[in-house]
Chain A
């Protein structure tokens, strides 16, 4: 029962990943691509925790934490560059 639910959740997460990737590949302006970058990193955090659950190793959650903090820094750097160039 729980296995089926996890497979459904993984499929939906993969579909969200593909949709955000499509926006990143297509996106007409730079701001579109930054939005898609943000969405991709947020979906990737859920994917990392899914991997940690399937493999059953709690140490992988630290990677998700580092990932969340660093993607935030990256988006802030890009946005400040687009706004006035540091």
Chain B
């Protein structure tokens, strides 16, 4: 059972590195900012599972709520506001 947790930790570290890589250098069809926001939300999601493995469920819950939920929502809200303002202003 111990080696199971070790393998899971390694998998989560790999996933965090991969999604951070996508957040920095994500290529896509014209929507790079939204891909970067999505990938940074995924990084904090994996971080919360890692906190759970480190036996801190309260920190994990806070990380999942703030880092993943609220930050992603807020970023998309502000991004749409910025886009709408640019269309109106010019």
Contacts and interface: CB of A to CB of B under 8 A. Distances in A.
Direct contact between the two chains A and B in their complex (CB within 8 A): yes
Contact of B38 (A10, A18, A33, A59): A33
Contacts, number: 117
B22 A25 contact: yes
| Size class of the contact patch on chain A | 35 or more
Tell me what chain B mostly uses at the interface: helix, strand, loop, or mixed.
Answer: helix
B72 A60 contact: no
Interface residues of B, number: 44
A54 B79 contact: no
Contact of B28 (A14, A29, A59): A29
A82 B34 contact: yes
Interface of A: 3, 7, 10, 14, 17-18, 21, 24-25, 27-30, 33-34, 37, 40-41, 44, 47-48, 51, 54-55, 57, 59-60, 62-63, 66-67, 70-71, 73-74, 77-78, 80-82, 85-86
Majority secondary structure of chain A interface residues (helix, strand, loop or mixed): helix
Interface of B: 1, 4-5, 7-8, 11, 14-15, 18-19, 21-22, 28-29, 31, 34-35, 38-39, 41-42, 45-46, 48-49, 52-53, 55, 57, 60-61, 64-65, 68-69, 72-73, 76-77, 79-81, 83-84
